[in-house]
Structure formats: C-alpha cells, structure tokens
Structure 1
Amino acid sequence: MALQRFNSLIFAVILSIGFGNVYAQSKAMLFPGKPGLVSYTYRKDFEKDVPSTLDKIKSIGIRDMEFSNLFGKTASELRTLIDQRDIKCSSFGVSYNDLVNKTAEVAEKAKILGADYVRVAGIPHKSAFTKEEAERAIDDFNRVGKILKEEHGLTFVYHNHGFEFEPYQDGTLYDLLMQKTNPKYVSFELDILWAFFPGHDPVQLLNKYGKRFKLMHLKDLRKGVTGNLSGGTSPENDVVLGTGQINIPAVIKAAKKAGVRHYYIEDESSHVDVQVPKSIAYLQTLKK
C-alpha cells in the first residue's frame, strides 16, 4: 500500500511537471494557438469542391475562417458544412455595393454563418483615391455600421487595400477614414501587406489607432518587391510568413497590445498547400 502511494505521488509530480512545462511553453509563445484563414486563400479548391476543401483546411488545424464567398452554397448550407467540422466563420466579407444596398440581406447571411463581423475590402474609386471618394465612404460606413450594430448586433470592419494611403494634409486618406468614422459603429481589419506595400509600417498604425483594429490579415511580401499606391501586385508576391519584408514578430506584439481579436492568414499565391502550413508553423516558433 505504501509503495502504491509512493508511486502515485511520483506520477503526480511527473504529471505536474509535464503540465508545468506545457504551460511555461505556452506563456513563452508570442502567438499561442492557431491563426484563422481567409477563404480566398483556397478559392480555387473551394470553387471545385467545398466539403473536401474544408476537410483540407481542418487537417492543418484551422478552426477560424473569414468567408467572403459562399462558393455556390446558401449561407445555411455552408454553416452546416463548417459546423460538421468544428470550424467557425467569425467574419463575413461582402462587396461595397452589397453592404450599402443589401444591408439586411448581408446581415441575415452573416448571422446564419455565425459571424460577428461584416467586412468590406475596398472602396469604389476611378483612379487615384480622392478625398471626395473617401468622404462618401465615411458617410456610408457610419450609416450602415450603425444599422448592423443596433439592428443586428454585428460589427462592421473595413479592410485596407493600399490605395487608401494617398497623401492628405499631414497624413493620408486612410487617416481621414479613421478620424471621421464613428468608432462605435466602424472598426478596421488591418491587412499588413496592404499597409506595407504603399510604404507604411503596420506596427506604427497599430500603435496609433490601437483598438480600432479588430481583425488582421497576416501575409508577407516577397523580398525585393517595391510597392506603390496602386492596390495591386502579383499574387505570387505573397510568401511564407517570416520570409518576406515585413517584421512579423513586431506586428504580432503590436497587434496583441492593440487588442486584435482574430488573425487570418491570407495567401493569394499558387503555392498555398505548401506555404500556408509553413506560415502556421512559423507562427508557432515565435517567442515573446
């Protein structure tokens, strides 16, 4: 009996040490857990077969998704498929036109999917983004953001795409969007590549605007690529996180301080089956 008690005590000590090591490792990690994923990353696969693509995504450990396409399914059908795989749709991306002109329909789909956020990526503009185009968007965002929040319990977020950083007064038109949208109804999703590409530091933006950022797209820009204000570059310039030009650890630290709630990997390249798992693995190597 004494020997059994001794062995039990030893086992308990070993077990506690093991859990202690796991806890310590978790505490030391800069990015604990797994990131989410933008559906656009696997758009070509989704267009062929939604269930098998979701199986693939689940197999690499993804449980949080931002969908901006239903890929031929109804919102209810897609919700059933993701529920079966224990995947959550936390953000639903829609077009600017649908946001403004089909607000109730957008809200209904978002709620069916289980999303907390409705996201728009881009503002209609003819050439170089102008103050007038920015102010029209500000009015739309404030109005629709209020409807989504007060009538549907959803949070509207705007996703930058690079062109918004046209110079304006002492800053940029992106600053104007931040300054004139109502924080109660309008939040932001920071795409770090589309902040870096037009010449801005994602870390500085996170430090400056803090909790306005609720969501983030994690992506990296191929070394040697020079950016501009066009809002466009080759999809093949998306590379594995940590192998490009962006200081990913600094971004993660600033994002955690700002209170970013969801981090989605977005990779537009033709090598996602190789690059996405490597990006996930890279995030697990980051230490505080």
Structure 2
Amino acid sequence: MTDAKPYRARLAVQLYTLRNLELPLEEVLKEVAAAGYAGVETVGTQGADAETLRRALEASGLVVASSHVALAELERDLKGVLAFQKAVGNDTVVVPYVGPGERAEDAGAWRAFGARLGALGERCRDKGVTLLYHNHDFEMALLDGKTALEHLLDGAPEGTLGIELDLAWVVRGGRDPLQLLETFSGKLTRVHVKDVAPAGENEDEDGWADVGYGTLDWQSLLSAAEAAGAAWFVVEHDAPKDPLGSIRRSAAYLKGRW
C-alpha cells in the first residue's frame, strides 16, 4: 500500500465467506490479517464469548468493522446483543436477511417494515450503535416506481437506519449499483464488495467470483461507494471453493486500486 492511495475506505472480510474452514477462530483471523485486511464483519458472536473474540482480534491485529445479527435476535435481546458488540469494540450492527415469510409485498408494507427497523435503530443509536440493513436481490423489486429497499429506508425516521449495499446482489436484482449508491449517499457506511461471474461460469460457486474476476466495474464502483460514505469495503464470496484463496485474490485485486 502506498501513501498515494485514492481510497480512504478500509478492507474487511465478511466471515460468512470462511464459515467452512476447519480452523480455530484465532487461526481464521490470523489468515484474514495475513491476506491484508484491516477488519472483519462477524456473523453474530462467531460462536464465541466476547472475551474470547476480543482476544483473538487483538492477537491478529484486526477490528470488527460491523456485525450481522438476525432481526429476531435483535428484537429478542437487544441489550445483550449491544453489550456483546461493544465489548468487542464494534459500533455497527447489520440486519442481514429477511426470510420469504417475513418479506413485505407492497410499498406500504416495506415502509412499515422500515418504521419497525427504525424504532430498533433508535434504541441502538441511544447506545452509540448504528443499525444498517443489508440487501439481497428481492429488495430490488420495483414498487410504485421505487425499489423495495428505497421504500424500506423511506419508512424509517431520519437518522435511525442506514443501508449496507451489497453491490453484486443489486446487479443480480437487475438494478444499477451506481444509481443506488447515489440514491443512498450519506445513508451507508459499509458496502459489500463481491463479484458476479460471466454467464455460465463458476456455476459450482453459485455464479459468484472473486472481486476483480467477474463482471462488475470496480473502477467506477469503488469511487462511487466511497463518495456515498462507505468507510469499509466488506469483501464477501457466498460459495467459494477455496475460501482462503478467494479472500487473498480479492484483497490483492483491491489493493492494486490503492
């Protein structure tokens, strides 16, 4: 990395990418650090207590950029979730996914869901934690001229909810990620960075690709993501055949842009 890097955003790995590694947590984190990342985005507690996770992070020199926590867990025990996250030094929690039975079906229902999340986000904000929502493809459905994701954010009171925009899922949902980065400018601090393989390729990896080895235009997207407010680029691959090789190749590509 040089002193003349064009981006200020830092690199993290979403640990879901490495879920199938048969390694102790501390070893996983050391591999992430060795690949050149500054942080991780955790999946809940990573199956550890706060002290164990904190020590593993310290040993690797990594920080928690943010954490994906299921909505049901946030609503069941917000106090406990926030206590854990603050104990490991994290101030950003992300609602990662909404199952088929929980998804809104029209614009009004998406706005109502946004209001529900906004109420949760207000409680997080009162404790010094930011709440974000992470998209997949289904939130790209157009309803009354806007995506479902826009309606969701419209429903949340100002300052209570942000977006973690997953650029590859935006593309899979048929929308323009550059346009949505502009739409959500000032509302996002985390962006998921992953790639989509050319049609017919990487079918054994669900059609995903390591960052820089697929079809997304990263030269445009990285600049636009940072301009929109992204402080962390979070690398993810949903189904890598070689998880460590994947995060290494993605980091090498991205660091070539610094």
TM-score calculated relative to the size of structure 1: 0.81
Where does 1:1-288 land on structure 2 (aligned, <5 Å)? 26-27=3-4, 29-31=5-7, 35-45=11-21, 48-126=23-101, 129-131=104-106, 133-150=109-126, 152-224=127-199, 235-268=205-238, 269-286=240-257
Q: Larger relative contact order (C-alpha < 8 A, sep ≥ 6)?
A: 2
Aligned partners of 2:35 and 2:248 also within 8 Å: yes
Flag the 1:267–1:238 CA change in 2: closer, same or farther, 3 A: same
Cα distance, 1:127 vs structure 2 = 8.4
Flag the 1:280–1:33 CA change in 2: closer, same or farther, 3 A: farther
Q: Which runs of 5+ in 2 are unaligned?
A: none
Aligned partners of 2:9 and 2:231 also within 8 Å: no
Cα distance, 1:34 vs structure 2 = 5.4
Question: Residues of 2 paired with 1:33 and 1:208: CA distance?
Answer: 19
Flag the 1:93–1:168 CA change in 2: closer, same or farther, 3 A: same
Cα distance, 1:171 vs structure 2 = 1.6
Aligned partners of 2:112 and 2:152 also within 8 Å: no
Question: Residues of 1 paired with 2:32 and 2:227: CA distance?
Answer: 28
Q: Which runs of 5+ in 1 are unaligned?
A: 1-21, 227-232
Number of residue-to-residue matches in the alignment: 255
Higher deviation after alignment, 77-86 or 235-244: 235-244
Flag the 1:80–1:127 CA change in 2: closer, same or farther, 3 A: closer
Deviations 1:232-262 (A, max 9, x none): x974422121221211111111112112111
Partner of 1:188, secondary structure, is: strand
Aligned partners of 1:31 and 1:284 also within 8 Å: no
Larger helix share, 1 or 2 = 1
Aligned partners of 1:36 and 1:66 also within 8 Å: yes
Question: Residues of 1 paired with 2:100 and 2:89: CA distance?
Answer: 31
Aligned partners of 1:213 and 1:260 also within 8 Å: yes
Flag the 1:234–1:203 CA change in 2: closer, same or farther, 3 A: farther
Question: Residues of 2 paired with 1:171 and 1:137: CA distance?
Answer: 15
The one-letter amino acid paired with 1:159 is H
Percent of aligned positions that are identical: 22
Cα distance, 1:33 vs structure 2 = 7.6
Question: Residues of 2 paired with 1:85 and 1:187: CA distance?
Answer: 29
